[in-house]
Structure 1
Amino acid sequence: MSGNWSVVQLLSPALPTTLTPSPLLNASGFPPLTDWEAPSFTRAAQFRVGATFVLFMFAACSNLALLASVWWGRGRRLSSHLRPLMLSLASADLIMTFVVMPLDAVWNMTVQWYGGDALCRLLCFLKLFAMHASAFVLVVVSLDRHHAILHPLDALSAHRRNRVMLVLAWSLSLLLASPQLVIFRAIRVEAVDFTQCATHGSFSRRWQETVYNMFHFTTLYVVPLLVMSCCYSRILLHIHLQHMREKAGESYLRRSGTGIIPKARLKTLKMTVVIVLSFVVCWTPYYLLGLWYWFQPAMLRLTPEYVHHGLFVFGNLNTCCDPVIYGFYTPSFRADLAACCRRTRGAPMAVHLRTSPPEPGR
């Protein structure tokens, strides 16, 4: 088992599932602890930590820049119902960046847990909360685009509706992550002088833990994916039907004369579609791997350790994609970044100009 703890600890949305087998769980089908060996900081884990550090730096800078642009910069020009969505998306990504990534990197380096029981419970709660918030905000974004395209004349109520959905998304994230505060604890194995933050002893049977993990797999991935797929499928169907009506010569209401839907709304639609696709592409391999592990734990011995570490790093790449996609579709964000770079480069020159004496004759 040496080196596999860092793999097991993040193969489920519920985070570390067990402290590996122990005599306390023999009744539930776990083998005894006699052959257990403390894990180590392997080369695959070292790769994971290095890659996570790079992603952390990029995600922190880009999402902070996105938040600043939408809050203070040119991004304030966004429509009143779209601006809270972008602020929430950036905030969810920043929680992932400043909670999930550092915790994952440090935990892989130390291998065991040194933070104590209270910090164990809190950080596991924050981690699942961040993952839920990120998924649920994307669901709200998809529902907003669905309503904007299918009901374009109902724009006046969009601001209030989005605020209600965002409050619900963040509240539901808190609620669904709250069991982490109860089931996780710092467990010490005296025989090998090893401490880990785990769910050890919280489930009397393995199937109970599998049900818990499957529930969070459903709320983190399956339900958001179904809702987002339904929203964009209906949008595509609506656009297709409008095309068919146009070809048939039917007259219908157009609000700007730019085609089936206004250019600005179409651009926002494209942006949200790409953001949702990045979520699906980045996280699907990781969740499928977790699904395999829950039903066949022996898969740890069948797949290379680099695969497990690499897929979780690939999932974290999603937090870097959102600001890049937003910047690609939003000139105001690019303009804010350019202005920031100009100020940064021009600061020394500005100081020099202020402190140099006036030229003769002027």
Structure 2
Amino acid sequence: MAGDWSILRLTVSSLAPPTSSVVSPSPNTSQYPSLSDWKAPSFTRAAQFRVGATLVLFLFAACSNLALLISVWWGRGRRLASHLRPLMLSLASADLMMTFVVMPLDMVWNVTVQWHGGLALCKLLCFLKLFAMHASSFILVVISLDRQHAILHPLDALSAHRRNSHMLLLAWSLSLLFAFPQLFIFHTIRVEAANFTQCVTHGSFSRRWQETLYNMFHFTSLYVVPLLVMSCCYSRILLHIHQQHLRDKAGESYLRRSGTDIIPKARIKTLKMTVVIVLSFVVCWTPYYLLGIWYWFHPDMLRVTPEYVHHALFVFGNLNTCCDPVIYGFYTPSFRADLTAFCRRTTSDTSPRSLDRLSARQGPASGESEPATNNQMGD
């Protein structure tokens, strides 16, 4: 979106770094004091806390999401159902985009305060930032739709791979489309009197309501619509499971034994995992978005809320990127087994006999396939 309400509004009179994906309005310059009264922003203690916390999250998210991607692509995670693998690969890819685009950009921009990357990087990075945010949200929607179809229509599993491929293509395409305007509305502005340059949306909207409308559109597409779709999916799933439970209590358990109305344990396990992933998205980002809405309609809220609150809520939102691989690992023994094998291999490679053992070692990495286990998640 247009910038970061959590630091300062993006105008000539207050050119602070727009370091998150939540938008800030850019009213007309005439509404603000003249440049003679303007004071350049600084790297405050609250911003220092934000950078330090984001660095910790960056390191953890990078390692954990890369491990998840490697496990699903090359490791034991390959035994996932064929239609589940693309979902988890896409989720890990979206989280890695958040990790390697949003977090470093946020840290560097807070440290430098002003923009030093030039016009091209200003447009490109703001585009990638919003693209990563949309991709993360839309892929969670695809996962929710997949779980709904798997539970409500268990006999239609053969078409799941093709259906998920189409939904993933749509999710990535919409992410590109919704982020595309960033390439046009962002540009650099230089205040010669203060030797200060910033990447802002100032002047791209002729009226404040236009940018507010733009902000609200992205808030709706990033948060409201995904939340409504995911809530609808899991509500239908819970209702279906409840109805099955009532039928069992009424003496209709023979239907379950017939194979037409059964929910396998592996499928329930996958369902629990996706529910927790969605809940982590809601818990992490809801406070930040709610504060953003408050700012869009009442910009003076920056004067009555502590700066630490704005920074802390953005850091808390980024925590969602770290939660996904942790949740996946908790519910997936294959991922934990891959991590254990990697740690053991790393430890053994430090011993004097590691080279001799390496030549005789056999396993999945050398081309053998592991036998399927009962603990592996199904569809």
Structure-2 residue corresponding to 1:13: 22
SS at match of 1:62: helix
1:341 partnered with 2:350 = no
Structure-2 residue corresponding to 1:314: 316
SS at match of 1:188: strand
Structure-2 residue corresponding to 1:46: 48
Structure-1 residue corresponding to 2:74: 72
Are the aligned partners of 2:188 and 2:199 in contact in 1 as well (CA < 8 Å)?
A: yes
Alignment partner of 2:29 out of 21, 25, 32: 25
1:293 partnered with 2:295 = yes
Most deviating of 325-334 and 201-210:
201-210
Q: How far off is 1:351 after superposition?
A: 4.4
SS at match of 1:186: strand
CA distance 1:34–1:296, change in 2 (3 Å): farther
Q: Distance in 1 between matches of 2:102 and 2:258?
A: 44
Q: Distance in 2 between matches of 1:94 and 1:208?
A: 32
Are the aligned partners of 1:113 and 1:195 in contact in 2 as well (CA < 8 Å)?
A: yes
Q: Distance in 2 between matches of 1:37 and 1:252?
A: 75
% of aligned pairs identical?
A: 79
Across the two proteins, how many residue pairs are aligned to each other? 346
CA distance 1:154–1:98, change in 2 (3 Å): same
Task: State the AA in 2 paired with 1:101.
Answer: M
Residues 148-173 of structure 1, C-alpha deviation per residue, up to 9 Å, x if partnerless? 00000000000000000000000000
Q: Distance in 1 between matches of 2:200 and 2:354?
A: 57
Residues 270-304 of structure 1, C-alpha deviation per residue, up to 9 Å, x if partnerless? 00000000000000001001000000000001000
1:149-298 aligned within 5 A: 149-251=151-253, 253-254=255-256, 260-298=262-300
Q: Distance in 2 between matches of 1:117 and 1:256?
A: 64
Q: How far off is 1:197 after superposition?
A: 0.4
Q: TM-score, normalised by structure 1?
A: 0.91
Q: Distance in 1 between matches of 2:156 and 2:232?
A: 20
Q: Distance in 2 between matches of 1:288 and 1:187?
A: 29
Residues 111-148 of structure 1, C-alpha deviation per residue, up to 9 Å, x if partnerless? 00000000000000000000000000000000000000
Are the aligned partners of 2:329 and 2:335 in contact in 1 as well (CA < 8 Å)?
A: yes
Alignment partner of 2:109 out of 92, 107, 110: 107
Are the aligned partners of 1:12 and 1:287 in contact in 2 as well (CA < 8 Å)?
A: no
Residues 79-122 of structure 1, C-alpha deviation per residue, up to 9 Å, x if partnerless? 00101000000000000000000000000000000000000000
SS at match of 1:133: helix
SS at match of 1:187: strand
CA distance 1:106–1:317, change in 2 (3 Å): same
Task: State the AA in 2 paired with 1:234.
Answer: R
1:331 partnered with 2:338 = no
Are the aligned partners of 1:12 and 1:290 in contact in 2 as well (CA < 8 Å)?
A: no
Q: Distance in 1 between matches of 2:257 and 2:100?
A: 43
SS at match of 1:349: coil
Q: Distance in 1 between matches of 2:70 and 2:352?
A: 23
Long gaps (5+) in structure 1: 356-362
Structure-2 residue corresponding to 1:360: none
SS at match of 2:349: helix
CA distance 1:350–1:145, change in 2 (3 Å): farther
Are the aligned partners of 2:17 and 2:109 in contact in 1 as well (CA < 8 Å)?
A: no
Task: State the AA in 2 paired with 1:291.
Answer: I
Q: How far off is 1:35 after superposition?
A: 2.7
Q: Distance in 2 between matches of 1:302 and 1:293?
A: 11
Q: How far off is 1:256 after superposition?
A: 8.7
Long gaps (5+) in structure 2: 1-6, 10-14, 358-379
Q: Distance in 1 between matches of 2:182 and 2:327?
A: 32
